């Protein structure tokens, strides 16, 4: 019987099922919350039901088959209150646990999600040692990359690959997402190269994240999780600034929070 | 999480503490009484009381709106000060007959001066407190208190006698004794009040007439004897900038962090130090309100603040400390770094929170951080 983790974030929702801790039988489905629509209110419960419901269906399972479920992410308490999970745990602990479970050598986790950036330090035993989170600002989060991709007229997924094709990059001077957008528009109107702008955007993102990393310090090994970990340009820029390679997890970095939740569900629910 | 049965006495306290112009203020005004507003702990309410006026400590109660205030203060001013200014300008504080400005920080000065500029009250006085404690500065501050008395006497056509001052100080001590009892009851092994409830009691003490507060506080204390809060994961201390945000404390306690004590100016810092009722009243007030204020505006008094926090951690068996400040708060923004480092050096878990005052959008972020902090300290 599987243990489950549900991570309802600001932009995507993930569901993970694990059996006996070692074999992730999993699947991720990104359910976009409704931030682009102003007429509908995002409902984390719908996201949780949909993402886990579809996952269960695909594997011929039902909600009743879940032994224990932990919810995490912004909608974590609502998901638990609705009875979809037995417990809710912060995404900070879940990302820490998830990353440590996939690579016990990891001590520092850089998690960049849709509206949060976190640097998490874990001990040799995998316990949460310390963490810092970004201030109330979209710069340095997935939202920044999304807004910038839209400004460039490309998809979010294409931003990283486009950026690494650039032979040089345009430095963005603004530290604010809103003003950076104006700045990018200005460069576009002047006919600057999109790839060079994409490189500048990813560099600016990495700069913001490094500011956070310095506050808590890094201890090797370092792993990057969250949706932005999939952006190859941000990732390589961070590696360059850190002066070290980051560990790659053997699962999709975007589901790390949900995976950590499932691992914690297994601990709470009496699994091995 | 963090729950306790709320009886009628405590409910009465909560209800009255959640409105700015409570029914007691209204009654006072209907009877022809005057109300004078102040914010900082170095404005002795005894002086206002001895003049036969109602001292009301200005609060914003988590008000998130600042649109009128933003026309006068900048976005880079502390949001607590902007929230207070908003309530001053939108009519919420129309019951005030006077304002006592203080130089607690430049943001609060901006709050007072813009308030008076846009919507003047008939009595406006500035009590200037020095930033250092020396013999000269104490002389200066005592002189400031005398000037404050004189200004009140002249404007309101009253006389502030030594007897009246002493009597007001005795009454203030009675209030402070209740607050100290309440804090002892929350700091003990089985906390009898939640942090949000203690804040409600604290807020009430400076918003209703003394005898009303004493009546309600005594009833709440009696009601809670032998009770204890259950279901919490860890005992926290809240330190840092001025906050009267009941919702913030409730959010912290909803995830299981019971706030058992604090080092806040809307809290323990305002009443921990007892007045000497025997000596000269002005000397006694100056000793407490200047020397013992524990505000980071007193740059040289850091060691005293640190030791106060360390002592309270011990007294209240605190598992972790949350130090917070509003964005753009200079004094606490700087002080909190030093406090955090000093606590970390002693292996005391500490969570530093920078927040916007009264922003509901911020509660989610705060909950996530506090919950992770509790998970980290093993609560």
pLDDT surpassing 90 at residue A74: no
pLDDT surpassing 90 at residue A13: no
Nearest one of A84, A89, A81, A77 to A63, comparing CA atoms = A84
Q: What pLDDT is recorded for position B10? A: 97
Q: What pLDDT is recorded for position A57? A: 86
Sheet holding B35-38, edge to edge: B54-57, B35-38, B98-102, B123-127
In this structure, chain A runs to a length of: 272
Contact A128 B375 (CB under 8 A): yes
What fold is seen in the domain B21-165+231-379? Rossmann fold (3.40.50)
Gap between the Cα atoms of B80 and B61, Å rounded: 9
Give φ, ψ of B121 to 5 degrees.
Answer: -100, 160
Q: CA-CA distances (angstroms) from residue A36 to A42, A146, B73, B257?
A: 10, 11, 32, 35
Q: What pLDDT is recorded for position B213? A: 98
Q: What pLDDT is recorded for position A20? A: 57
Gap between the Cα atoms of A268 and B19, Å rounded: 43
Q: What is the pLDDT of residues A105-144, one digit of tens each?
A: 999 999 998 788 899 999 999 999 889 887 767 677 888 8
Q: Looking at residues A38-44, what average pLDDT do you find?
A: 47
Reply yes or no: is the peptide bond before residue A189 cis, omega within 30 of 0: no
Task: Name B69's bridge partners.
Answer: none
DSSP secondary structure string, B123-150?
EEEEE---SS-SHHHHHHHHHHHHHHHH
Give φ, ψ of B232 to 5 degrees.
Answer: -95, 160
pLDDT beneath 50: ranges in chain B:
none
Residue A91, chain B, CB below 8 Å: the answer is yes
% helix / strand / coil in chain A, to the nearest 5? Answer: 45, 15, 40
Q: What pLDDT is recorded for position A21? A: 44
Chain B residue numbers with beta carbons less than 8 Å from the beta carbon of A89 are 371, 375
Q: What pLDDT is recorded for position B194? A: 97
CA angle B99, B101, B105 (to 5 degrees): 145
Gap between the Cα atoms of A125 and A105, Å rounded: 10
Segments making up each domain of chain A, as ranges: 3-103+250-268, 133-242
pLDDT surpassing 70 at residue A199: yes
Gap between the Cα atoms of B343 and B11, Å rounded: 36
Q: What is the pLDDT of residues B215-271, one digit of tens each?
A: 999 999 999 999 999 999 999 999 999 889 999 999 999 999 999 999 999 999 999
Confidence band of A45 (pLDDT split at 50, 70, 90): confident
Higher pLDDT: B237 or A179? It is B237
pLDDT surpassing 70 at residue A84: yes
Residues 6+ apart with CB under 8 A from B67: B86
Dihedral, CA of residue B365, residue B367, residue B371 and residue B377, to nearest 10: 80
Higher pLDDT: A163 or A30? It is A163
DSSP secondary structure string, B149-194?
HHHHHHHHT----HHHHHHHHHHHHHHHHHHHHHHHHHHSSS-SS-
Nearest one of B81, B159, B280, B366 to A136, comparing CA atoms = B366
* Contact present, B51 and B30 (Cβ < 8 Å): no
Mutate to test the interface with B, among A70, A136, A143, A268 (most CBs of B within 10 A): A136
pLDDT surpassing 80 at residue A209: yes
- What are the residues of chain B with a beta carbon less than 8 Å away from any beta carbon of chain A? 327, 354-356, 362, 364-365, 367-369, 371-372, 375-376
Contact A131 B365 (CB under 8 A): no
pLDDT surpassing 60 at residue A37: no
Give the strand pairing for A108-112 and A117-122: antiparallel
How is residue A95 written in tokens?
């990302």
End-to-end CA distance of chain B: 12
Q: Does domain A133-242 have CATH number 1.10.645.10?
A: no
Q: Closest approach of chain B CAs to the CA of A128, in angstroms?
A: 5
Q: What pLDDT is recorded for position A115? A: 80
Gap between the Cα atoms of B336 and B325, Å rounded: 8
Nearest one of B88, B71, B70 to B20, comparing CA atoms = B88
ipTM of the complex: 0.79
Share of chain A above pLDDT 90, in %: 41
Q: What pLDDT is recorded for position A58? A: 83
Chain B residue numbers with beta carbons less than 8 Å from the beta carbon of A90 are 368, 371-372, 375
Give the chain A residue nearest B353 (alpha carbons).
A135
- A&B contacts, CB < 8 Å: 39
Chain A residue numbers with beta carbons less than 8 Å from the beta carbon of B354 are 135-136
Q: Which residue bears the tokens 């201890």?
A: A219
Give φ, ψ of B95 to 5 degrees.
Answer: -75, -10
CATH number of the domain at A3-103+250-268, out of 3.40.190.10, 3.30.200.20, 3.30.450.40, 3.30.420.40?
Answer: 3.30.420.40
């Amino acid at each position: 019987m599987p243990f489950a983790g549900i991570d309802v974030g600001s932009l995507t929702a993930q569901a993970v099922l694990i059996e006996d801790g070692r074999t992730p039988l999993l699947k991720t489905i990104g359910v976009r919350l409704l931030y682009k629509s102003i007429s509908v209110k995002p409902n984390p419960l719908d996201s949780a039901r949909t993402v886990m419901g579809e996952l269960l269906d695909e594997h011929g399972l039902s909600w009743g088959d879940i032994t224990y479920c932990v919810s995490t992410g912004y909608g974590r308490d609502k998901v638990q209150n609705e009875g979809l999970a037995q417990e809710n745990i912060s995404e900070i602990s879940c990302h820490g646990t998830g990353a440590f479970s996939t690579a016990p050598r990891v001590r520092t986790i850089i998690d960049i999600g849709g509206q949060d950036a976190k640097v998490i330090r874990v001990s040799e035993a995998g316990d949460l040692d310390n963490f810092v989170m970004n201030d109330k600002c979209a710069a340095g989060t997935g939202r920044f990359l999304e807004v910038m991709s839209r400004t460039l007229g490309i998809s979010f997924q294409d931003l990283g690959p486009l950026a690494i094709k650039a032979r040089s990059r345009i430095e963005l001077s603004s530290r604010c997402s809103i003003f950076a957008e104006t700045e990018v528009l200005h460069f576009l109107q002047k006919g600057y190269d999109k790839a060079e702008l994409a490189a500048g955007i990813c560099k600016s993102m990495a700069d913001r994240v490094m500011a956070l990393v310095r506050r808590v310090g890094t201890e090797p090994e370092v792993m990057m999780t969250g949706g932005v970990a999939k952006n190859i340009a941000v990732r390589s820029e961070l590696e360059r600034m850190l002066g070290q390679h980051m560990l790659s997890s053997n699962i999709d970095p975007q589901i790390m929070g949900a995976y950590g939740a499932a691992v914690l569900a297994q601990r709470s629910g009496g699994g091995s | 999480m963090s729950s306790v049965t709320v009886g009628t006495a405590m409910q009465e306290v909560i209800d009255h503490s959640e409105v700015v112009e409570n029914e007691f203020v209204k009654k006072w005004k209907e009877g022809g009484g005057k109300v004078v507003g102040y914010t900082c702990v170095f404005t002795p309410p005894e002086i206002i009381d001895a003049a036969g006026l109602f001292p009301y400590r200005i609060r914003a109660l988590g008000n998130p709106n600042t649109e009128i205030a933003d026309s006068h203060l900048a976005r880079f001013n502390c949001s607590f000060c902007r929230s207070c200014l908003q309530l001053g300008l939108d009519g919420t504080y129309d019951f005030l007959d006077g304002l006592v400005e203080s130089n607690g920080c430049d943001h609060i000065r901006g709050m007072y001066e813009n308030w008076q500029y846009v919507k003047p009250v008939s009595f406006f006085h500035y009590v200037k407190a020095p930033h250092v404690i020396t013999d000269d500065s104490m002389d200066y501050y005592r002189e400031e208190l005398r000037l404050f008395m004189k200004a009140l006497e002249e404007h309101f056509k009253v006389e502030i006698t030594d007897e009246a001052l002493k009597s007001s100080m005795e009454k203030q001590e009675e209030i402070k004794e209740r607050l100290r009892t309440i804090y002892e009851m929350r700091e003990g092994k089985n906390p009898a009040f939640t942090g949000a409830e203690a804040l409600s009691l604290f807020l009430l003490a400076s918003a209703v007439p003394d005898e009303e507060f004493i009546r309600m506080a005594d009833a709440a204390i009696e009601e809670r004897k032998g009770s204890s809060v259950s279901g919490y994961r860890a005992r926290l201390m809240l330190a840092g900038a001025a906050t009267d945000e009941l919702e913030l404390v409730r959010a912290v306690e909803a995830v299981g962090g019971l706030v058992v004590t604090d080092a806040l100016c809307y809290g323990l810092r305002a009443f921990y130090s007892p007045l000497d009722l025997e000596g000269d009243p002005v000397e006694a007030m100056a000793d407490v309100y200047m020397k013992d204020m524990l505000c980071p505006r007193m740059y040289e008094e850091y060691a005293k603040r640190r030791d106060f926090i360390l002592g309270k951690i011990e007294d209240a068996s605190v598992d972790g400390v949350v130090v917070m400040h509003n964005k753009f708060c200079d004094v606490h923004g700087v002080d909190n770094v030093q406090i955090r480092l000093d606590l970390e050096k002693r292996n005391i878990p500490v969570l530093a929170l920078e927040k916007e005052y009264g922003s509901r959008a911020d509660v989610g972020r705060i909950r996530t951080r506090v919950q992770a902090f509790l998970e980290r300290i093993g609560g």
